[in-house]
Structure 1
Amino acid sequence: MTTPYPKYHLAEYPHQFRLRYPNKPMLRYHDKVSGRWVKLSGEQVADRCLAAAKGFAWLQLQPGEKVSIYSPNTVEGIAAELGLFMMRGVSVPLYATSTPEQVQFVIEDAQVATMFVGGQFQYNNAYEVQQRSEVLRQLIIIDPEVVLAPGDTTSMYYDEFIRRGDAVAYENKANVTASQALASDLAVIIYTSGTSGRSKGVLLHHSNFIEQMYAHQLKYPFMSPRDTSMCFLPLNHILEKAWCYLCLSMGCCVAVLSDPKKILEALPEVRPTMMSNVPRFWEKVYAGVQQKIDQSPSPIRSIMRHAIRIGERYFFDYVNEGKRPPLWLTALFKLYDHTLFMKVKQAIGIQRGKFFPTAGAALSVEIYRFMRSIGVPICLGYGLSESTATVSSCPLVGFDPTSVGTIMPTLQVRIDPETSEILIKGPSVMQGYYNNEEANAEAFTEDGYFRTGDAGRLEGDVLYFTERIKDLFKTANGKYIAPQMLEGMLTLDPIVEQVAIIGDGYKFVSALIYPNWELLRREAEARGVDMTQSDEALAVDHEVHRLMTTHIEQALSTVAQYEKVKRFVLLTEPFSLERGELTNTLKIRRKVINEHFAEAIASLYAE
C-alpha cells in the first residue's frame, strides 16, 4: 500500500533537494556584508550538505560518533548536521548561549570529540572547555572573523574543513554511507534545559523524525513549496529543529536568522507565510498592539475595538464552527481585514502568514482569540523534546481555543486517573535518556507510556493542558495553586514583564514582579508620584504599590480568593538566563528563583 507522503530519512534530504527542487530556493540567510537576504537553491543546499559529509569522511567519522553544534542558527550549521546524518553520525546540539559549565557537562556526558562553534563567544567558551577536558579534541569554527586563542594549534575554520574533504574518495564514502543509513540509527541527543535537576539527554532516532514528519504531512497537507518559513528560534530547540526539517521535507524555503533579537527587523524583509514560535513573542505583539490602541485618539480607538469584535464574531462564531457568516458580517470583516488588520500585520511583517504553530508554554485564551480575530493564523500545540516535538496541535479551523489541539495521528495518549498526568506512546516518542538509567526507570509506565510530567484532560481526541505537575504547589491552608495559570493572567497586563508566583507551604500567595518600568513610571507620574526617585525607591513607594495592586486585582479578578496575590515585591532587574533563573526556553526555574530571592520572599511573609 502506497502512502500519500514518502517517508524520507534525514540522510536522504540533500539528495531529495537536488532531485525535486534543484532550482527552487530552499534556504535563505542574511549576508552581513551586503546586508541582503541571499537565496540558496535545492542544488546549492545539496552541494553544501555533501561538502560537509565529505569533510566528516576526511575526519574519519565513524557511524554513531557524536558531534556537537554550538552556534547561533546558520546555513552552515544546517548543512553540517545534514552532512553528519549522511555519514550516520549523531548530532548533539547546544544553545548558543550555553555557559562553559553547561558545555562541559554535555561534552563529557555524551563523549563529544568534535564541536562546531559559531562565533567568538562560542569559540572562547569551547576552547576553555577543551583546555580542561580530555574528551573534546577538535573545534571547527563557522564564523571566519573569529580570532583564535594564542597557542591554539588544533582548531580549524569551516572553510578549511570543507576544503580538506574535497576529494573523490571522500565523496564516494559520503554517498555510500548515506545510502546505508537506517531508520534505527540514533539522530540527535537533545539535552533538556529543565526547570530543576540535572540536564537529561533525550535520545531521538531517525525513526522518530521520519514518523513525526509523516504525521504532520497528513495533518497539514496545505504546506507547499510556495511557502517561506522564518527560522529564528534556536535550532537545538526541538520545536524549531523538527519544524525546520518538516518545512524542508515539503519543499518550503527556510529563512535562517542568526540573531533572534533582530526578528522584528527581519520579518518585514522576509514576509514569511509560516513561522514556529513561542507564546512570549505573541504576548509582546499583543501588548504592543493594545498599547497603540490605548494611545490612539478616541474615535480611532472605538473603530479598532469595533473591528476586533467583528473579527472575533466572524471567526469564532462562524468560521471556526464551520458555519457560513452572514453577508453583512463577511463584508465588514473583509473591510477591516484589508485595512486596519492589514496595517497591523504589515507593521510586524506577517501579512502573508497562513500558519504560525506556537508551543513551548501556555498561551492565554485572550491573546489566542485576539490574534485569530485580526486574521493572524496562530495554532497552539503541545509537545516535548521526548516526543520529537508535537503531541497535539490545533487545526486551522474547528478548534477549542482553551485546548492544545487534537492528538497527532500516530500517537496514543491517555490520562492517568489518579494524577491527571498526560501519558503518551507512539513512534515519535523517544526510547529513553542517554546514560541515565535512573531517569529511564521513572520515565515510563509498565506498559510503555511516557510520563510527560504534565497534567491535563482528554475529551475525544482533544487535549487540554492544565499545569506542570511539579509546578503545582499547596499553601499552608491545603489549597492547591497552579502558578503558571496565575503568571499567564498577570503577564496579559502590559505593565507586568515577568512574574514568579510564590506560595508553596505559605499561608497565602505572593509574587515577585518585574514590571515594565517605562509604563509604570508613566502611570505613577499621572498619580503624582515623585519621578526624581530611582527605580529602587519607586519599587517600595506606597503609591506605586497601590497602583500595581489595582493592576493585579484586575488581572486576577476571575480567580478564587485563595489564589489571589496578597503581597508582592517589585524587582528592578529582570530574571536572567545568565544567572540560571530562566531556562533556555525562558521558563522560570522556581528552585533557583526561590534561592536567589530568599530574602525578598521572607519579607513577604514577615509578620
Structure 2
Amino acid sequence: MTTITPVTESAHFRAVELFPPVGLDVERRPDGVILLRSTTPGMPVPVTFAAGFAERAVSHAGQTLIAERNAGGEWARTTYEQAYDQALRIAGWLLDQDHPDERVMIVTENSVAHALMFFGAAVAGVPLCAVSAQHVLVAPERLAHAVDVVRPTIVFAEQATSIADTLASVLPPGTTVVSTDGAGTVTWEQVLAHDPLPDAEAHIAALDPHAPFRFMFTSGSTGMPKAVVHTNFGWCRLFSGANALLAKVSGWDERTLDWMPWSHVAGFSVLIGSVLNGGEYYVDDGRPTPELFGRTLRNLAEVQPLFFANVPAAFNMLCDALDADEALCARFFEHLQLCLYGGAGLTQPVYDRFQQLAEHTVGERIMFTTGYGCTESTAGCMSITWPTTQVGVGLPCPGLTVKLLPLDDDRFEARFHADFVLSGYLDNPEATARAFDEEGFYRSGDALRWIDPDRPELGLVFAGRLAEEFKLSTGTFVRGGFVHDALLAATSPVVAEAVLCGEDHTEVGALVWLNPAGCSAELGSSYSTDDALDWIVDRVRQMPGAGSAGRVARLAVLTDPPDIAKGERSDKGTINQAMARRNRSADIDALYAAAPHVRVVS
C-alpha cells in the first residue's frame, strides 16, 4: 500500500505549458441570459476525415496506426500505409454494391477490422452506424430498433456465428452480412481482395463534407434512442477547436490507449483525434469492471499513454490498483500528461486521491479535462485547459457558443450552438424541431453553475440532468443529479454507484451498489452488507444539511448488478437513473417499507 500525503497548493501541474491561454468572451443580456464563446482560434484541419486519413497515409506511411492484442497476447500492428491500402479496397467493394442508398451498420466491438471498415466507408462516402456490441446478445430489441431507423444495406459482424440467430431475426431479407468467420453472406477476405478504389485522390476530393458521415444513437434515457446525423464537416469543425486546445498535451500525435466503444462519441472522438494527428492507437481489451480491469492495467503499464480517458468509475478502480502497486504507479505516471473523464461527473474525493498518488510518484499533478458534451454536440465540446483542483466541465471549445438560461439562484440550463452541433435526427423531424429553441440553440437538458460567478474564467461545473430532477410528495423539488454526486462524494470508496429515489414519497432514498475493493480497504476483507450500510449511514449523517430536498434519508444495497439489457447501464459504465428506477420498483417499494437491510438515516 502506497503512503500518500495530502495534495499541496504549491504542487506543479505537468505539461500545463502545452495548453493555449484561456480566451473567453462573456455576453450578458438584460434578461439574465449569458452567452459564452472561446476567443481561441481553431487549427486548420481537412474538410473530410478521408482527406486527413489520406494525408497521414503518405506522411506516416510506415508508422503504426492501430494495434490490438492477438491470440498470443502480443500487439498486432497495422501501419498507416497498410490501413489506407485496405480502406481503398473496402471502399471499392462498397461502391460496387450499386445500392441507391448504401448504409453500413457495424455490430462488433472495437477492433482493427472494425476500424478498417470505418476507414473504407469514410473513403467511399458511405454513411456508417456502429451500434453497441451489447445490444446484439443482451438487448436485441434495441438492435432491432437501430436497424429499423438506419435501414442498413450492409452489416459487418466480425464474429457472426454466435449472433447469427439474432441478426436473422432483425435484418430485412437481402441484407448483406460481412463477417470474418465465414458465417455471413460475404467473407471479410472477399472484401479485402477487391480491387482498390480507382482514382482515389479525385474521389476523396469530391466528397460532400455536409453529407451524412455517421449515424450515432443517443442514450435513450427518455425513450428509444434517436439517431443523430453526423457529417464530416461537423467532426472536422469540432477537431479544429479540439486540436487547438488538446492535440499536443494529449499525445494524440504519439500514442493512445482506449477501450471506450466507437458506437459512442466519447470513444470515437479519441480514434478520430489519434488518426487526424498521426498517432498510434492501441485497442484496450480491458473494461472498467472487476473481471476485465486487470487487462487495462496491463496495457497501461506496457503502452504508457500520455493521455488517459475513461468514465469516472474507472478512475476509482484505477486509484485502488495504483495504491496497491508502486511499480504500476511509476509506469502509469511516467509519461502521463492529461486525463479526461466523461459520461458522468467525477467526484472530488476520487480526483483528490488520484492527484495525491501523482504527487507521491512524480512530484507533479496531472491536468484533468472533461469530455463534457453529448451525441448532439458531436462529442465533448467543453474543456478545462488551466490548472485547477476543482472538478468541473470547463469552458466552451473554439467554435461553440454556450447559452446559459437562469434556472434558480445559481444554476443555468445549458444550450449549444456551433457548426458541429446537431443538424437533425435521422428521419425524425418532430424530435429535431423539439431539440432547438427559438434562436437555434440545442437544448442540452443539463444544468450548470459557476465555480465563482465573479470569475467566469474559472469555468462551470455540472449541476445535474434536468430530466433526473423530481418532486417529493410534499411538493419539495429534488435536484437528483446534485444529490447523487454529493452522495457518491461522501461515501467514496465504499459506494460505487447509486440510484436516487423519492418521487411520490416524503423523503429522498438511495439504492446503492458497493465497490468491493473500497469496502475491503475501509471495512476489512470480511465485511458484510450490514457493515457497509452502517459505514455509509455514518458518512451520510456527516453530509451538510440541506433539508428534505438534499438529504438522503433511506438507504439499501443492491446486490444484483446494473442490467445492461434493460438499459440501466451503458457500455461506458454510466447509470441511466430513469431506467433503473423504472426497472427496480420492487426495490424502491422495499426501501420505503423499511424492509430488512434498509437503513433509515436519523
Q: TM-score by structure 1 length?
A: 0.80
Distance 1:221 1:72 in 2: 26
What displacement does 1:407 show?
A: 0.7
Distance 1:575 1:4 in 2: 41
Q: 1:66 to 1:480 in 2, by over 3 A?
A: same
Instruction: Report what 1:457 is aligned to.
Output: 449
Does structure 2 conserve the Cα–Cα contact (< 8 Å) formed by 1:279 and 1:363?
Answer: yes
What displacement does 1:210 show?
A: 0.9
Instruction: Report what 2:49 is aligned to.
Output: 10
What displacement does 1:65 show?
A: 2.3
Identity in percent: 19
- Of the three residues 41, 48, 60, the one matched with 2:86 is 48
1:390 aligns with 2:387: no
What displacement does 1:520 show?
A: 5.0
Q: State the structure with more CA Rg.
A: 1
Distance 2:123 2:518 in 1: 52
Q: 1:60 to 1:351 in 2, by over 3 A?
A: farther
Q: 1:521 to 1:288 in 2, by over 3 A?
A: closer
Instruction: Report what 2:406 is aligned to.
Output: 417
Distance 2:304 2:503 in 1: 45
Moved more, 484-493 or 77-86: 484-493
Instruction: Report what 2:330 is aligned to.
Output: 346
Instruction: Report what 2:75 is aligned to.
Output: 37
1:69 aligns with 2:106: yes
Instruction: Report what 2:281 is aligned to.
Output: 254
Instruction: Report what 2:349 is aligned to.
Output: 366
What displacement does 1:91 show?
A: 0.8
Instruction: Report what 1:284 is aligned to.
Output: 317
In the TM superposition, 1:205-244 aligns within 5 A as 205-223=231-249, 227-244=254-271
Q: Given residue 283 of structure 1, which amino acid in structure 2 is its aligned partner? A: N
Distance 1:211 1:499 in 2: 37
Instruction: Report what 1:178 is aligned to.
Output: 204
1:479 aligns with 2:476: yes
Does structure 2 conserve the Cα–Cα contact (< 8 Å) formed by 1:247 and 1:253?
Answer: yes
Give 3-state SS (helix, strand or coil) of 1:43's partner: helix
Give 3-state SS (helix, strand or coil) of 1:491's partner: helix
Does structure 2 conserve the Cα–Cα contact (< 8 Å) formed by 1:140 and 1:157?
Answer: yes
> Where is the helix percentage greater, Structure 1 or Structure 2?
1
Q: 1:88 to 1:127 in 2, by over 3 A?
A: farther
What displacement does 1:358 show?
A: 1.8
Q: Given residue 367 of structure 2, which amino acid in structure 1 is its aligned partner? A: P
Q: 1:184 to 1:455 in 2, by over 3 A?
A: same
Q: 1:575 to 1:6 in 2, by over 3 A?
A: closer
Distance 1:240 1:470 in 2: 24
- Between the two structures, name the one with larger relative contact order (CA 8 Å, sep ≥ 6): 2
Instruction: Report what 1:597 is aligned to.
Output: 584
- Of the three residues 140, 161, 167, the one matched with 2:191 is 161
What displacement does 1:160 show?
A: 2.0
What displacement does 1:501 show?
A: 1.4
Instruction: Report what 2:428 is aligned to.
Output: 436
Does structure 1 conserve the Cα–Cα contact (< 8 Å) formed by 2:68 and 2:283?
Answer: yes
Q: 1:584 to 1:487 in 2, by over 3 A?
A: same
Does structure 1 conserve the Cα–Cα contact (< 8 Å) formed by 2:497 and 2:514?
Answer: yes
1:245 aligns with 2:269: no
In the TM superposition, 1:526-605 aligns within 5 A as 539=529, 545-554=533-542, 556-557=543-544, 560=547, 562-605=549-592
What displacement does 1:288 show?
A: 4.5
Distance 2:46 2:170 in 1: 43
Distance 1:173 1:221 in 2: 31
Instruction: Report what 2:131 is aligned to.
Output: 94
Distance 2:167 2:76 in 1: 34
1:405 aligns with 2:394: yes
Does structure 2 conserve the Cα–Cα contact (< 8 Å) formed by 1:65 and 1:89?
Answer: yes
Large movers: runs of 4+ above 4 Å: 173-176, 223-226, 287-290, 517-526, 557-562
Distance 1:400 1:92 in 2: 38
Q: 1:494 to 1:435 in 2, by over 3 A?
A: same
What displacement does 1:110 show?
A: 1.2
Q: Given residue 424 of structure 1, which amino acid in structure 2 is its aligned partner? A: F
Q: 1:559 to 1:228 in 2, by over 3 A?
A: farther
Q: 1:132 to 1:605 in 2, by over 3 A?
A: closer
1:270 aligns with 2:297: no
Does structure 2 conserve the Cα–Cα contact (< 8 Å) formed by 1:513 and 1:568?
Answer: yes
Instruction: Report what 1:151 is aligned to.
Output: none
- Of the three residues 158, 162, 183, the one matched with 1:118 is 158
After superposition, the C-alpha distances for 1:417-471 in whole angstroms (9 at most, x for unaligned) are 3472101101110101111122112100111100001111366463332110001
Distance 1:570 1:132 in 2: 37
Instruction: Report what 2:366 is aligned to.
Output: 376
Distance 1:545 1:6 in 2: 53
Distance 1:276 1:382 in 2: 12
Does structure 1 conserve the Cα–Cα contact (< 8 Å) formed by 2:556 and 2:591?
Answer: yes
Instruction: Report what 1:297 is aligned to.
Output: none
Distance 1:497 1:253 in 2: 32
After superposition, the C-alpha distances for 1:162-212 in whole angstroms (9 at most, x for unaligned) are 12x1x3xx5216554323112111111101122231110011111101101
Aligned-residue CA RMSD (Å): 2.9
Does structure 2 conserve the Cα–Cα contact (< 8 Å) formed by 1:72 and 1:258?
Answer: no
Instruction: Report what 1:315 is aligned to.
Output: none
Does structure 2 conserve the Cα–Cα contact (< 8 Å) formed by 1:111 and 1:135?
Answer: no
Does structure 2 conserve the Cα–Cα contact (< 8 Å) formed by 1:74 and 1:258?
Answer: no
Q: Given residue 67 of structure 1, which amino acid in structure 2 is its aligned partner? A: V
Distance 2:519 2:190 in 1: 53
Instruction: Report what 1:23 is aligned to.
Output: 62
Give 3-state SS (helix, strand or coil) of 2:556's partner: strand
After superposition, the C-alpha distances for 1:349-408 in whole angstroms (9 at most, x for unaligned) are 34321122221111112322443452333322411111111221111x334624311211
- Of the three residues 43, 49, 58, the one matched with 2:96 is 58
Q: 1:408 to 1:400 in 2, by over 3 A?
A: farther
Q: 1:160 to 1:398 in 2, by over 3 A?
A: same
Q: Given residue 230 of structure 1, which amino acid in structure 2 is its aligned partner? A: L
What displacement does 1:59 show?
A: 2.6
Q: 1:437 to 1:566 in 2, by over 3 A?
A: same
Q: Structure 1: 5+ residue runs without aligned partners?
A: 149-153, 294-339
Does structure 2 conserve the Cα–Cα contact (< 8 Å) formed by 1:90 and 1:187?
Answer: yes
Does structure 1 conserve the Cα–Cα contact (< 8 Å) formed by 2:108 and 2:156?
Answer: yes
Q: TM-score by structure 2 length?
A: 0.80
Does structure 1 conserve the Cα–Cα contact (< 8 Å) formed by 2:229 and 2:423?
Answer: yes
Does structure 2 conserve the Cα–Cα contact (< 8 Å) formed by 1:113 and 1:135?
Answer: no
